[in-house]
Chains A and B, each alone.
Chain A
Amino acid sequence: MTGTPTSVTTSDRSRRRADRGTLWGLFALPGTVWLLVLFVLPFYALVCVAFGDIDPVFRNAVPAWNPLNWSFGNAGEVLGEIFGGSLRKVFLRTISYVVCAVVLSFLVGYPVAYYLARHAGRWRGLLLALMILPFWVNYLMRMLAWVNLLQVDGWVTRAFSVFGVQVNWLDGQPITVVLGLVYGYVPFLVLPLYAALERLDGRLLEAARDLGAGPGRTFHLVTIPLSRPGMLGAGVIIALPMFGDYYTNDMLSRSPATEMVGNQVDFYLNATTQPQKGAVLVLVLSALLVVLMSYYLVSTMRMQREIRA
């Protein structure tokens, strides 16, 4: 009899723990449903379009819902173009633009985020609000503002001409597209970076100083390594949409010299009767981004393990 109350208590505890587990699990339900309805199903539809056919009369996509009916002809054609045809240039160009834009974004965004997190003092709130201000204006409108500034009689062009530099910025210039991407996405980089830098343990920085490290060495040996997870996250946040971006290029260039993957996807999906090829391109792009995301996840987990150790 003496053992009974103990066993009842253990059983109650396990039940309560299980109930609590179910309760917390329910919290994930909306997100799971959301993911299923708005990601998994559309993604499956995309796959079915990519491996489907077109209606001979109405010329819209006929998705092959049954995987047994999938046809890989279009995928083969697109992959052939990527590895040995015109799309190879487009992919390489897109990757190089995104890499340049992400690096430039860090060069611009990191000092800003660092200042906001560590030195802005009482101005922090105001400066953060100013950082968020661009979000109030639609991305396309912000790009259009640049179109006006960069056109032949625009202020930027005129300012350069004062120094004898004549540049037709909107004439299919890669630098214009890259700077457009930087301008458009840099606020998305600053905010997560700010959050990461703001959480840095000040005592670690003080310890570095106490041990004789100057500001430069402290920044190099303590701040940068500790902010690396934030940097990775921020980099991924801006790199992913940049890979699929097409409207920045559409507005600031629209020249074959700067064509990006997103432009080809846009063309095939919206302006042709070959949406399957557009869908295949989206899948290839997704595969590329999965590699990027995997690197991010593996790196983050490794860093967490190192911190715990």
Chain B
Amino acid sequence: MKNRRSEHRHPTTSASRAPVSRRQFLGGSAVAAGGLVLGPSILAACGSDGGSGTALKLARPDKPVTLPTVGDAVAAGKAHEGGTLQILNYVDYLNPDVVARFEETYGVKTAVTTYDTEEGALNKLRSGAFTPDLIIGMTDSVLSRLVAAELLQPLNHSYLSNFGNVIEGLRDPYYDVGAQYTTPYIIYSTGIGYRTDMDVDTSYFESGNGWDILWDSAYSGRLGILDSYRDVIGSVLHRNGEDINTGDQKVLNAALEDLREMSAATNPKIDILAYTEVPAGTRVVNQCWSGDMLLGVWYLPEDASWTELGYWQPDDMVTGNDVFCVARNAERPVLAHEFINFFLDVDNALENFGWTGYQPALEALDAQTLIDWEYVPANLANALITPAQYAKGNRAVALEPDVDARWTDVWAKFTAG
């Protein structure tokens, strides 16, 4: 999921219990796609204020980064500011019922401005055209850049009494040692969603390298992959036993050849619609994010069973997470902290999960609890990430600019057909 946001357009993840229709969903996605016109990109590019000097030090799980302190956190013990909390977020990425309860509890209003990609959000924030109080959905891909641009303020943990609910592995994350600027929002993994009732050969998944199914011509025309170069190339590298963040051109070239073989064998659709297409049965195998299948149960036809969806992820899964952070020039920093704290509450996070389909990064909401409370069907237990799995999982980390360029070139050559 991280890369859905960091590298491409964000899907309309309407995950209400009464799911939106396929047409409504596609409409939303397409409008978003249509909005990605060339002009703004060029104009945004021209808005640059010139070079910024040396490259940043990028965080790695084995090389954690303590981000530089920029400014002071808001003082402790202050009452919240009231008024309207300005939030920058992906579309449909918060349960409106939980947000309404927050407004009622604190006697305030909230206003959400949306973004499609992290890069777009970064440009918007740097331009100064919009100053939110709270930013939701960023990943470590842009975190160091947000801090370097002095767009974030350090958090004051005295307002975050629920921070202890966060899974242990993310209380002191490698990308923000000491959680100076961020608290985690949701966690996810990358794997394969499939239909259990449509003759999918599950021996691929039992063999341990389920990625191989993406090369099986038996699923030609009924198979999809993510529209995310980080996830797709990363999965090919993982299949080949390579480092999923490699910058080695030879290894990447080999991945390109594998991708071309895949294309010849299965003619995959490239999009982020697994959560509607697999439930609809138009795809029987689809590389996807864990949340896609959790969400997909609400898109199954009425007469279908939840057990018709399955999800596979490798044992050493590729995981990631999104974060909450407070903007440097926030007018309501205390209220922003209160909002974060509200969503770190177990009950609120659970209700939010029930609507968005994305797993909260909270210790109490483990796989068994979510299944026992019937938020997730047992057959999709694989799509949930335990703290232990998260701790040992691979991370698709931010890439250096030259490495990132190699990856995007491989992707462009693959999609060129």
List chain A positions with a Cβ less than 8 A from chain B: 42, 45-46, 48-49, 53-63, 81, 85-87, 89-90, 93, 139-141, 143-144, 147-148, 151-152, 168, 170-172, 244, 247, 250-251, 254-259, 263-275, 277-279, 282
- Whether, in the assembled complex, B207 has its beta carbon less than 8 Å from a beta carbon of chain A, the answer is no
Decide if A60 touches B48 in the complex (CB within 8 Å).
yes
Cβ contact within 8 Å between A251 and B41: no
Determine the chain A residues whose CB is within 8 A of the CB of B55 once the complex forms: 56-57
Stretch at the interface among B132-140, B186-194, B266-274, B292-300: B266-274
Distance A257 CA – B267 CA, assembled complex (angstroms)? 7
7 tightest A-B CB contacts, nearest first: A61-B45, A256-B417, A86-B416, A272-B408, A57-B52, A86-B413, A269-B41
Report yes or no: B23 in contact with A144, Cβ–Cβ below 8 A: yes
B30 within 8 A of A: yes
B34 at the interface (CB under 8 A from A): yes
Return chain B residues, CB-CB under 8 Å to A93. Answer: 417
- Please name 30 pairs of A and B residues whose Cβ atoms are closer than 8 Å in the assembled complex, sorted by A: A42-B43, A49-B45, A54-B401, A56-B53, A57-B54, A57-B148, A58-B52, A59-B119, A59-B404, A61-B45, A85-B413, A87-B416, A89-B417, A141-B27, A141-B30, A144-B26, A144-B27, A148-B26, A247-B30, A250-B33, A259-B415, A263-B415, A264-B412, A264-B416, A267-B412, A270-B36, A271-B229, A272-B405, A273-B119, A273-B404
**Is B43 a contact of A62 with CB atoms below 8 Å?**
no
- CB pair B417 A152 closer than 8 Å: no
Would B30 and A140 count as touching, CB distance under 8 A? yes
Q: List, in ascending order, chain A residues with CB within 8 A of B414's CB.
A: 256
Which A residues are in CB contact (< 8 Å) with B117? 270-271
B270–A256 touching, CB < 8 Å:
yes
A226–B43 alpha-carbon span in the complex (Å): 43
B: interface residue count bin = 35 or more
A267 closest partner in B (C-beta)? B412
Which B300-331 residues have C-beta < 8 A from chain A? none
Cβ–Cβ contact A275 & B41, under 8 A: yes
Beta-carbon contact of A58 and B33 below 8 Å: no
Q: Can you add 15 more A-B contacts, CB < 8 Å, to A49-B42, A59-B119, A93-B417?
A: A55-B52, A56-B51, A57-B148, A58-B122, A86-B413, A90-B417, A140-B33, A140-B34, A144-B26, A144-B27, A250-B30, A256-B263, A264-B416, A272-B408, A278-B41
Is B159 at the interface (CB under 8 A from chain A)? no
B174 to chain A, nearest CB (A): 20
Whole-angstrom distance between the alpha carbons of A37 and B36 in the complex?
Answer: 22
A55, B417: Cβ atoms closer than 8 Å: no
Contact B413 A57 (CB under 8 A): no
Contact between B53 and A251, CB atoms less than 8 A apart: no
Cβ-closest chain A residue relative to B144:
A57
B415 A267 Cβ-Cβ under 8 A: yes
Q: Inside 8 A of B417's CB, which chain A residues have their CB?
A: 89-90, 93, 255-259
A278 to B117, CA, bound (A): 17
**Beta-carbon contact of A271 and B8 below 8 Å:** yes
Q: How far is the CB of A38 from chain B (nearest CB, A)?
A: 10
A268–B408 CB distance below 8 A: yes
Q: Which residues of B contact A244 (CB under 8 A)?
A: 38
Nearest CB of B to A21, in Å: 36
Question: Is A265 in contact with B38, judged by CB distance below 8 angstroms?
Answer: yes
Given A57-B145, A58-B126, A140-B30, does the pair A171, B269 have CB atoms closer than 8 Å?
A: yes
Residues of B within 8 A of A141 (CB): 27, 30
From residue B348, how far is it (CB to closest CB) to chain A in Å? 33
Chain A residues within an 8 Å CB radius of B96 = none
Contact at B270–A255, with CB atoms within 8 Å? Answer: yes
Q: Mark B382-417, 1 if CB is under 8 A from A, else 0.
A: 000000000000000000010011001101111111
Point out the residue from B26, B271, B405 that lies within 8 Å of A274, measured CB to CB.
Answer: B405
Q: How far is the CB of B408 from chain A (nearest CB, A)?
A: 4
Contact (Cβ within 8 A) A254 B270: yes
Which residues of chain B are near A61, meaning CB under 8 Å? 45-46, 48
Q: Is A46 touching B26 in the complex (CB atoms < 8 A)?
A: no
Within 8 A of A (CB), among B52-89: 52-56
Q: Which residues of B contact A247 (CB under 8 A)?
A: 30, 33-34
- Beyond A247-B33, A268-B408, A278-B41, whether A57 also contacts B416 by CB under 8 A is no
Closest partner residue, chain B, to A148 (CB atom): B23
| A53 to B50 CA separation, bound complex (whole angstroms) | 10
- Shortest CB-to-CB span from A10 to chain B, Å, is 52
Please indicate the chain A residues that have their CB under 8 angstroms from the CB of B379 in the complex.
Answer: none
Tell me, in angstroms, the Cα distance from A86 to B414 when the chains sit together: 8
Q: How far is the CA of A58 from the CA of B271 in the complex (A)?
A: 27
Q: Which residues on the A side are within 8 Å of B30 (C-beta)?
A: 140-141, 143-144, 247, 250-251
A residues in contact with B46, CB < 8 Å: 45, 48-49, 61, 63
Interface residue B31 (Cβ < 8 Å from any Cβ of A): yes
Chain B nearest CB, measured from A144 CB (Å): 5
B123 at the interface (CB under 8 A from A): yes
Encode B223-237 as 1/0 by CB contact (under 8 A) with A.
000010100000000
